[in-house]
Amino acid sequence: MKKTIYLLAFLLTSIAWGQSVTVDGANAQVSFLFLDDDVEGTLSGFQFTGTIDLRAIEDAEISGSVVTKTLDTNNWFRSRHLRAKKFFNAKEYPTLDFKSTKVTGNKDAFTVEGLLTIKGIEKSVAWQFTNSENTFVGKTTINSQDFDINIHDEKSRNKLEVTIQLPYSLQ
C-alpha cells in the first residue's frame, strides 16, 4: 500500500512539474483568410524552434517558419499566381519566418509579440494564443501591403487573418 501511495505521489509531482512542451511541427496547421475577398488558404512545411514552459510562459521563445511554395488556396491557378514573383516570390523568398520578442499572459491565454518576415521585410506583429486540448491556437491580422504584396490598390482591402494551430505534448 505504501508503494502505491509513493508511486501515486511521484506521478502527480511529475505531472505538476513536467510542464515543458514539445511542439509537433509536423502536424501544425497554418491558415489564412484574405478578409476582403473571402479567400482561404494554407501553408505547410512548418518548422518550430524555441522553448515553451507552461510554468513560466513569459520566458517562452517561439519562432518558426513555413515554406512559401506550399501556399495553397484550393485553386491551382490562384495559388501559383500568389507564389509568383509579383506577390510572395517563393523562389527568392522560400520561407515566411517569425521570431518572438515578448510573451505575456498565462498558460491558458497569452500574447506573443515578435517579428514576422515575408519577402525579406520584417514587421512587428502580435499573436493572441489560447491553449486547449494540448493545442496552442494563435491568431493575428496583418496587411499584405506591409510586405510588398499588393493584391488590391487600397491598403484597407489587403488584410489577412492568420491562424496557427500548434499541437504539443508535455515532457
What pLDDT is stored for residue 162 in this prediction? Answer: 98
- What's the mean pLDDT in 102-115? 98
pTM recorded for the entire structure? 0.87
d(CA 162, CA 112): 14
What pLDDT is stored for residue 3 in this prediction? Answer: 52
Does residue 34 have a pLDDT over 70?
yes
Is 5 a member of any domain? no
**Joined grid coordinates for residue 152:** 488590391
Cα–Cα nearest to 97, from 115, 79, 83: 115
- Which pLDDT band holds residue 167 (cuts at 50, 70, 90)? very high
| Number of domains the chain contains | 1
Show the domain range for 84. 20-170
Is 8 a member of any domain? no
